[in-house]
Amino acid sequence: MQYEANTLENHWLPFTANRDFKQEPRLLVKGEGVYYWNHKGEKLIDGSSGLFCCAAGHARKEIAAAVGKQLLELDYGPPFQLAHPASFELARKVAALTPDGLDYVFFCNSGSEAIDTAIKIALAYHRAKGEGQRTRFVSRERAYHGVNIGGVSLSGMVRNRETFGAVMPGVVHLRHTWMPENRFQRGQPEKGAELADDLQRFVDLYGATSIAACFVEPIAGSTGVLVPPKGYLERLRKICDANGILLVFDEVICGFGRTGKAFAAQSFGVTPDIITMAKALTNGAQPMGAVAVSDRIYGTVVDHAPAQAVELFHGYTYSAHPAACAAGLAALAIYEKEGLFERAASLSTYFLDAVWSLKGIPAITDIRGYGMLAGIDLAPAEKPGARGLDATKRLFNAGLHIKFTGDAGIIAPPFVAEKSHIDQLVDLLRKVLSQY
Ligand SMILES: Cc1ncc(COP(=O)(O)O)c(C=O)c1O
């Protein structure tokens, strides 16, 4: 398939070097299992599950059939003061996967919307409790929480923030948890739990009663897979509990088996008050996000409103869209039937061994990983991010899709991958990255 450059012009691509891309497009035209095909007919291994969405592999017939059936039965219904049965079933299924006590699920359409929804739920909760002065949020350097104004304000990535000036006020950032002494440590690093005490410093500086919530990705995914140091999440939980602060885990990447359990909260044994999720909720087949909240949060907000009144003035035209619910139910059924979370857990050692075998390649300055998620840092070239983009292209041309953020590659194969796919993936990484 050939594309004339001018046929690509009108689409302003997200998070993409548009001018560069349109000179040398990388189009995906087909996906199946752990493979993509590009517009030249070449086959690529999907080393990042798309964008960490397609845990069960591509083009799953069960999901396509469920979405098609749903669209012919009920294509759309307003989600305000009306509902359709699949949304309740999906909420029940999601609540069965989240840690005990997080039993209420609010649906939206993306990870970014999940984050902004969680921000609003946190504010509504404190207000309902009579603590409406809790409006400050704590996030972390190197965090990625999507691109809506709330999420950008929480973001700890300079390029995502600087263009947009002063976004939502009142957000402070914990230090990130990447430490030079933890380089090449596999799993949870030994050092760094004390970095959680930054939250205590904010309590001491701003006053506990001004802080609504602390948002963290259990594993900071987008900036290159920063696995939490041992004891770090536990300390955050303790400080939150002592000070009436909600703890929010953004599990948009970690959720649905990536860490070997349904949620990273379970892998790390720390239960937050709110979990945001998206991506693998539908195996990437339909846009959907969700926010799971504790019974206490739901009860407080709902019971605070007068009878028959709307309790939370928030929602989207496409909240719990029937097609997204159908995709979600079909995806969760596949995860269960094929035991994919368990498969992720059992494949992890082989996967991490394979990725760690890249240690020693001169351009690789660090490797981190947990479960079926690994990050590799490349020594920057002339400008930060230039080598990452170059590596993206070289790998694509060599037959491998890996998502880079800046100079960090994020490796997250689908859980249906065989060991032979992991070998292939790592061989391609070795071949290409050894060229630097
Ligand atoms: C942790 C985290 N939060 C939020 C988002 C935003 O999700 P979306 O791109 O679906 O809006 C992402 C996307 O990668 C993410 O990794």
pTM (2 decimals)?
0.98
- Summarize pLDDT for 219-253 with one digit per residue, the tens: 999 999 999 999 999 999 999 999 999 999 999 99
Q: What is the pLDDT of residue 159?
A: 87
65 Cα: distance to centroid of ligand 1 (angstroms)? 26
Q: What is the pLDDT of residue 1?
A: 59
Mutate to test the pocket of ligand 1, among 48, 109, 116, 144 (most ligand atoms within 8 A of CB): 144
- Summarize pLDDT for 257-304 with one digit per residue, the tens: 999 999 999 999 999 999 999 999 999 999 999 999 999 999 999 999
User: Cβ–Cβ contacts within 10 Å for residue 360, how many?
Assistant: 9
Domains of the chain: 5-56+338-433 (3.90.1150.10), 64-337 (3.40.640.10)
Rounded CA separation 104/318 (Å):
18
Residue ranges of the chain whose pLDDT lies below 70: 1-5
416 Cα: distance to centroid of ligand 1 (angstroms)? 22
Ligand 1 binding pocket, CB closer than 6 Å: 110-112, 115, 144-146, 217, 221-222, 250, 252-253, 278
Sign of the CA dihedral 262, 71, 36, 43?
Answer: positive
Q: What is the pLDDT of residue 4?
A: 66
Question: For every residue of 290-353, which 3-state class applies, written as one string?
Answer: EEEECHHHHHHHHHHCCCCCCCCCCCCCCCCCHHHHHHHHHHHHHHHHCCHHHHHHHHHHHHHH
Rounded CA separation 62/127 (Å):
43
111 Cα: distance to centroid of ligand 1 (angstroms)? 4
Check: CB of residue 168 under 8 Å from CB of residue 149.
yes
252 Cα: distance to centroid of ligand 1 (angstroms)? 6
User: Cβ–Cβ contacts within 10 Å for residue 412, how many?
Assistant: 29
In this structure, which residue's CA is closest to atom 7 in ligand 1?
Answer: 111
Q: How many helices (H) and strands (E) does the chain have?
A: 15, 15
Atom nearest to 253 CA in ligand 1: 16
Q: Which has the closest alpha carbon to 136: 211, 194, 78?
A: 211
Tokens of 200: 């205590």
